[in-house]
Structures are given as structure tokens and as C-alpha cells.
Amino acid sequence: MTRPIVFCTDYGLLDIFVGVCHGVIARIAPEARVIDLTHHVARQDVLQGAILLARASRYMPDDAVYLAVVDPGVGSERRPIAVQARSGAHLVGPDNGLLSMAWAELGGAERAVEIAAPEVLLQPVSRTFHGRDVFAPAAAHLAMGAALEELGPPIDVGDLQALEPPRPMVAPGSVGARVISIDAFGNVQLNARPEDLDAAGLGPILQLGPRAIPRVDTFTDLRPGSVGALVDSDGFVALVVNRGSAAELLHLKVGDAVVLGG
């Protein structure tokens, strides 16, 4: 059976980039299911893309081919790669760290190749749209059952670019965290886990600037409009407002620093 493709980019949906890649896939792998994870990674934000792919990976089919493109260096010397994870999943994209947190979740990178086989690339390869000309065809061939080696020459997995997830700073009585994502409801996900708050000795009421906010189990433990902290569905601490937007209320955006006291 054709393997499913998990597709994630920063292309947005306003133009035809995503649709054209779907067409390229359909020409090579007419039966492949394509799961559009999101095409709204913040533009050229490789780290955010890497975090989202890693978070999603445990919910995707085990035999998935990941096709991810957040690629500020397109057309430069960064290599296009395909990686086999120990789980058996494959990952296709630029060698800029974008795929690295996902393969770590999937058991680690086992083998890798540079995508270079002329029968895989869409000729002539453009300088600016490798999603269409390099990555989508490579993923579609893998979905059809091609072996990794058919895509190009091997690369030492130790040479691949990798990104580290940012860690919070934990000190007695305080945790210095960063906003790693804000969802459509305005929930503010931090890079801290409940263990970090415990390690800092923080109790059931957290100090956030002048605010004292409770740790709660769910939105409805809060009065409508009031702020709390909960463990979100990814296992991270999130600042939330019941029936409201924490991002708006607290004036927070992705990348901002947040200090939680106890």
C-alpha cells in the first residue's frame, strides 16, 4: 500500500505553492494520502517548524513519510536530505535542523541521503521552489516504496544539522521560560514542563509579574476571563484564559520571555 505523507510548510494557503506540491505528489503517487499538518509555520521560522513536527509525530501513522519545507536557505548550498528514522518513518526536507526534533522523537536518525538522483528531481530544478522540484517528488517516491538509496548518495548522519529544543532556566523560586507557540484560541504554550515548576519549588499559585495565577487542571476551573496555568495537551505549561485569549490579555507573542515565580 502507498504510504501516507505528512506535509508541513510555511507556504500559507493564499497562493498555489501547496496545491502545486499536491499535484506533483499525485502524479507520482496517485493513491498516497496527504495529511496537511499545517502550512502556517511562521515564515522561515525553522525552530518553530521543528517543534511542531516533533509534537505531531506521535500522532501520525507509523509508516508516514514526513515532507517539511521551511527553507530560508533555498537555492544556497544547504543540502536537500531524506532521513530514515529508527521507527521506520522517513523525513524529507532541507538540512537546516527542521527535521531533527522529529527524528529524535522517532527513535533517532538511522541513515540519510542527499536528494540528488536525476530521475527524482523535477527538471529543470528551480532556484526558489525546492518544495515542488526536489522535496515533493522525493517524498512521493518514498511513499511508493522507493528505497532511501534511490534518492541519492549517503550522508553521515553525524553531519546533519540538528536543533536543540530551547530549555527553560530553572532556579529556586523561579522558572525563566519562553513562549514557544500560541494557538488559535490565544493559549500561550511555554517551553516549561510541570517538572520544571516542581524543580523550582513553585506551588499551586504562580507569580507572573504583578499577577498571582492558579495552576488548574482545565479551562473550566477558571472563572470566565481569568488567567491560569495548566498542563496542555503536549505536556507543556500553558498560560490560558477561560473563554478568552491569554496572548491578548498578557500581550505575549512567540519568542517572548516569561518569568514564573512562586
Of 11, 103, 135, 236, the one binding its own copies (CB under 8 A) is 11
Residue 217 touches its own copies, criterion: CB under 8 A: yes
Site string for its own copies, 91-130 (x = CB under 8 A): -----------------------------------xxxx-
Residue 170 or 192: the one with the smaller Cβ distance to its own copies is 192
- What is Dmax (Cα atoms) for the chain? 61
DSSP state of 119: T
Of 46, 47, 50, 55, the one binding its own copies (CB under 8 A) is 55
Residue 223 touches its own copies, criterion: CB under 8 A: no
Residue 55 or 79: the one with the smaller Cβ distance to its own copies is 55
Residue 44 or 154: the one with the smaller Cβ distance to its own copies is 44
225 C-beta neighbours (distance < 10 Å), count:
10
DSSP state of 18: H
| Cβ proximity of 235 and 180 under 8 Å | no
| Cβ proximity of 8 and 52 under 8 Å | yes
Residue 145 touches its own copies, criterion: CB under 8 A: no
Residue 204 CA: distances (Å) to CA of 19, 24, 133, 160: 48, 52, 53, 42
Q: Which three cell numbers stand for residue 122?
A: 523535477
Residue 69 backbone class (left: φ over 0; alpha: ψ -120 to 50; beta: rest): beta
CB of 53 vs its own copies, minimal distance in Å:
9
User: Helices 136-143 and 17-28, interaxial angle, to 10°?
Assistant: 30
Residues that bind its own copies (CB under 8 A): 1, 4, 6, 8, 10-20, 22-24, 26-27, 30, 33, 35-40, 43-44, 52, 55-56, 59-62, 64, 72-76, 126-129, 132-133, 181, 183-185, 217-220, 230-233, 243
